[in-house]
Chains A and B, each alone.
Chain A
Amino acid sequence: MKKYILQRVLISLATLFVILLVLFILMDLMPGTPFNDEKLTQAQKDLLYAKYGLDKPVLTRFFLYCKNMLKGDLGVSYAINKNFAVSGMVKDRLGISIAVGAMAMTIGTIAGLLLGILAALNHNSWIDNLCSAISVFGVSIPSYVCALLLCYFIAYRLNWLPILYNVEQPFISLILPAVALSVSPTANIARFTRSEMIDVMNSDYILLVESKGVKDWKMIIGHVLRNTLIPVITVMGPILVNLLTGSSVIEKIFGIPGIGRLMITAIQENDYNVTIACAFVYSLMYIVTMLFVDILYGVIDPRIRIAKEED
């Protein structure tokens, strides 16, 4: 088990390094300059280039950057908030995005599991069809449509919740964005849970458990669910990362200063450091989450644990 984890960690680090290099080269090849104000003369542009070290060769800048990054210094922003430390900008916004994402994931997981289990237990009945319909709906509707509908009916018309994100009431004002974000994960998790559970319920060992006389609910929780969860967790990994890294559409609609908006703005403004920092954060979170999911496998399913040890 330990060897397995170590191997995964090393590969993750190598992946991160390669991602960073690719990002850096890509940014360099993009046309235009960070300072694209119509009113700048070439002499002024040259001065700015020299000041920010944009005139040094790519590889030099990249290694300088890696060195700084390991110290926690992600550079400064050129265009969004001039001379702000990027690490500070990313940190503040990441916290909010993670909060919304975590809420959305919690809602999505609970609702998705319930929906999926309900559908599987009442397989081929009208309940099953209803749940499937809800799933299809959830997967098809874009998140901004959900967001606007929720906003209009619940926040504006009924006044049950605030319309926009409010820094003084962070939890309450994030409920609507979280619900809007959770529609897609709910649908995805529900579908996976349903199909997995049906497969498991039809398998031989469950037949054996049933014939041994184990009561219904005890069987479901103790035996069926545990086996259902493995593929579901696989799916949940990437969904979780997508949510945590901020949906820029939801952030725009609800006026949330999150990392999704930051990345979009950074790309449009050609703010090199911020874009790379954001992309790197995304990759980091993805790799960490997948690592975590892999380890979780080993915990949940002894077969995987033993097989890997034998490797």
Chain B
Amino acid sequence: MKKFIALLLVLLTLVCCVSCGKKEEEEENPAAEDVVIFQNENVRKAMSYAIDRASLAKSLNDGSVAAEGIIPFKLASNPVTGQDFRDEQGAIVAYDLAKAQEAYNAACEELGKKKLSINLLYGTNEGDSVIKAAEQIAYYLEEVGFEVTLVAKQKKERLSLMDTGDYDVALTRWGPDYGDPQTYMDLYVSYNHSNNAGRYDSAEYDKLVEEAEATTDPSERWSKFLEAEKVLVQKDYGIVPVFQAGGAMIIRPTISGIQFHSAAVDNYRHIVGKDTVTLITNTDIVYLDYQYATDGTSFVAETLFTSGLTELDADGNWVLDLAESYETNADGTEYTFKIRDDANWYDSNGKVVRTVTAQDFVDAWDRIMSEELASDYSWWISDVLLAKEWTAVDEKTFKVTLEKPNGIFMACLAFPSAFPINKEFIDEQGDQYATTAETMLYCGPYILKSWTPGYSYELERNAGYYFNDQYDAAGTAKKIVFRVLEDTQTALMEYEAGNIDTVILSGEQVTANKDKEGFVNRLQGYLFYLSININHYDE
């Protein structure tokens, strides 16, 4: 009896402590007392000029580069000239201590303050580079005169605070969903309350973005986006771009053919050099169902064992995959695809189940848009592909009607959210669907043979794939093994021992292995920037 009362008392104490703790946290909020200072343009200007982006990026030692705007390098090309957006626009941010100082002093005067304080929010579990970058940004801002307090939170809490506007300035990032400036521009329109955490509000910017998305002329669209970026970053200092993430890896020199796409899923289909390739991944597959998945690792695996109408090549240009041919109407709002006759669904043993049909695409797009699935990527069909209707004209003819002409339509069909499904199989499997290699069907160049969650997954070539002969002729790997390894030191030892063929490097290992054969710095699409809380505090 006494013991029971004791237990109860402990429980009560625990609950009290936790709830008290929570209240305290809410009171000493990460937002400084007078967040209004960020409405002053000179404050934001000072922040933008204060950061030496080149030095910062270099010190991260992982291939990161200084950001020149919010649009990262290698994201999108001019529809007429083919020039990269970033190269065409040039740098619209700069490091200028004098200008920063001048702006800071002006701001102090305008606000009637001697010193301006900033709480800089960043994530502790988003990678070493984030922590290093946050510390350096604080240093640069302090050089100009700001008083900076670093606020360290776990990612999920950082996002939550930004969602509710309980922050001053946050180091955040955005990775492109597709190769077009729109994937960034959409984020900062005043009515985007999901991503525009700082509530940057410019009628001029909104208008430019809306006009860009409404026009059917690709050149006009391009120049509107160029102008919009200038307004957002150069004129208003609505956000402060900092750096574009890199990723250092070692790839065994005897293998080649891994395609890194910073604005799309990395393509591992064409690896040559070894019969069995063992690759490292530091996260496991989250979901085999490509209509449900949201993480890069799952997508990479899914593009290996499933196919879409198109595939991306090494240069990021689309080529036909499941589609044998296609036609469009005069203004580019209707696409009709003829699906290959030799495209089939295979089970995990490589046996043919049936042929891939146009209805498989209709079912897929219906399913991903459905409310019951509540997929995180349903907007791929409606907002990226801009598809409003899709039908199966006959068994092998799939027709899509777009809301308006879409320059990125064909390339975005290569993304797993647009892949077909075999509806009868899914219905048959019920909630067992996509839980193991055997409860999936495949139509890609590889078949998933096994998946041990948290440990590894293995894929083998699909002999029935229509391009299989070409793959054989090119010497493409017959088997790919992905090993889930989080510790880079032991991974490096495994690499040296010859047991795995790639290693992801971080921290001092990058410096230590820079000159090693096979060292690669791949530019990722993630653009890290400072989100400034301009208007988001009295909702």
Contact = CB atoms under 8 A, between A and B. Distances in A.
Interface residues of B, number: 54
B294 interface: yes
A261 B194 contact: no
B260 interface: no
Chain A residues touching B, majority SS: helix
Nearest to B377: A39
Nearest to A156: B493
Interface string B156-200: 110110000000000010100100000000000000011100000
Interface stretch (B224-232, B408-416, B484-492): B484-492
Interface stretch (B68-76, B453-461, B503-511, B512-520): B453-461
Contacts of B292: 82
B125 interface: yes
Contact of A163 (B11, B286, B499): B499
Interface stretch (B15-23, B107-115, B239-247): B15-23
Interface in A26-69: 26, 29, 31-33, 35-42, 44, 47-48, 51
Nearest to A47: B374
Interface in B282-315: 284-287, 289, 292, 294
A22 B286 CA distance: 29
B7 A14 contact: yes
A11 B194 contact: no
Contact of B194 (A36, A41, A252): A41
B239 to A, nearest CB: 14
A163 B490 contact: yes
Interface in A1-32: 11, 14-15, 18, 21-22, 25-26, 29, 31-32
Contacts of B484: 255, 257
Nearest to B298: A82
Interface string A139-165: 000000000100110011001000111
A84 B371 contact: no
A36 B156 contact: yes
B40 interface: no
Given A11-B3, A156-B497, A268-B156, 20 more contacts: A14-B4, A18-B7, A21-B11, A32-B154, A32-B157, A36-B156, A39-B194, A42-B193, A82-B286, A82-B292, A84-B453, A151-B490, A156-B493, A159-B497, A163-B494, A167-B455, A253-B487, A253-B490, A257-B453, A270-B156
30 contacts: A11-B3, A14-B7, A18-B10, A21-B11, A22-B14, A29-B22, A31-B156, A37-B294, A38-B195, A39-B376, A40-B376, A42-B194, A44-B374, A51-B374, A81-B287, A82-B286, A83-B287, A84-B435, A84-B453, A92-B453, A93-B454, A148-B490, A156-B493, A163-B494, A167-B455, A167-B456, A252-B486, A253-B487, A254-B487, A268-B125
Interface of A: 11, 14-15, 18, 21-22, 25-26, 29, 31-33, 35-42, 44, 47-48, 51, 79-84, 89, 92-93, 148, 151-152, 155-156, 159, 163-165, 167, 252-255, 257, 261-262, 268-270
